Amino acid sequence: MTSTDAIEFLRARRSIRKFSNDPLPAGLLREILETATFAPSAHGLQPWRFAQVESNSARSALGQALTNQMRLDMQAENIPETDILSRVERSLRRIAEAPQIILLCRDTEAVRIPTSEEDLMGIQSVAMAGLQLMLAAQAHGLGANWICWPLYAQAETSHALQLPPTWQPQGMIFLGRPAEQPKPKNLKPLQVLSLNF
Ligand SMILES: Cc1cc2nc3c(=O)[nH]c(=O)nc-3n(C[C@H](O)[C@H](O)[C@H](O)COP(=O)(O)O)c2cc1C
């Protein structure tokens, strides 16, 4: 791969939200997750943990945990009940239909000294692994989408999925063969200061 190919590859990454039903080859997800673990992490602590949400019952538990909280948050914002229902149904459908779901977690015990800065660096490190995961998926022709919903229901998600107590959900990634071509990206202008004083 030339540097031009590599740059083109990086610039081609897009969020994919529609997937075909094609099953992924055995072992591919494991390879993608292993590649994610090559991401940089603060102090090299590698605080990322992954939960593969596979069975219908695990998906349903996740969906209920996330949409219960979603419903409460939307009710608190006085959003009309019909809008809440359609949002909840859409979310449950996406969780049921995603070919693969990886819940990205931070191990809260991976930090050396639990300060707010160290916690933040742990979260940043998990995000690094998340991007690397999505790029590894792209290298295999898969599409991926980072979903933030677990952040709004961390305790409920942990409880519903019976996660180890130190695994703190940060987000989830839906993965599968792409069944959509995203519209061209509307990039904001690059903002960079050249400081030469
Ligand atoms: C931290 C984070 C949270 C996100 N949460 C969601 C989400 O909940 N649902 C969703 O459809 N996309 C989500 N996305 C994807 C963004 O919407 C997407 O990256 C953005 O619109 C730019 O599009 P692109 O990824 O195709 O470049 C999230 C992305 C990030 C980095």
The atom number, within ligand 1, closest to the CA of 185 reads 27
User: How far away, in angstroms, is 147 Cα from ligand 1 center?
Assistant: 7
Residues with CB under 6 A from ligand 1: 14-15, 17, 145-149, 182, 185
The structural domains of the chain, with segments of one domain joined by +, span: 24-55+99-176
Work out which ligand 1 atom sits closest to the CA atom of 14.
Answer: 26
State pTM to two decimals. Answer: 0.96
Ligand 1 center from residue 145 Cα (angstroms): 7
Joined tokens for residue 107: 């191990």
What is the per-residue pLDDT for 190?
A: 98
Cα(136) to ligand 1 centroid in Å equals 17
Q: What is the rounded distance in angstroms from the CA atom of residue 75 to the CA atom of residue 67? A: 12
Atom of ligand 1 nearest to the CA of 149: 8
The pLDDT of residue 128: 98
pLDDT, block means (10 residues), the chain with 197 residues: 96 97 92 98 97 97 95 95 96 97 97 92 98 98 98 97 98 98 95 96
Strand order in the sheet with 167-176: 48-52, 100-107, 167-176, 143-147
What pLDDT was estimated at residue 1? Answer: 87
For residue 75, how far is its CA from the centre of ligand 1 (angstroms)?
Answer: 24
3-state secondary structure the chain: CCHHHHHHHHHCCCECCCECCCCCCCCHHHHHHHHHCCCCCHHHCCCEEEEECCCHHHHHHHHHHHHHHHHHHHHHCCCCHHHHHHHHHHHHHHHHHCCEEEEEEEECCCCCCCCHHHHHHHHHHHHHHHHHHHHHHHHCCCEEEEECHHHHHHHHHHHHCCCCCCEEEEEEEEEECECCCCCCCCCCCCCCCCCCC
- Fold annotation for 24-55+99-176: NADH Oxidase (3.40.109)
Q: Residue 144 Cα, ligand 1 centroid: separation in angstroms?
A: 10
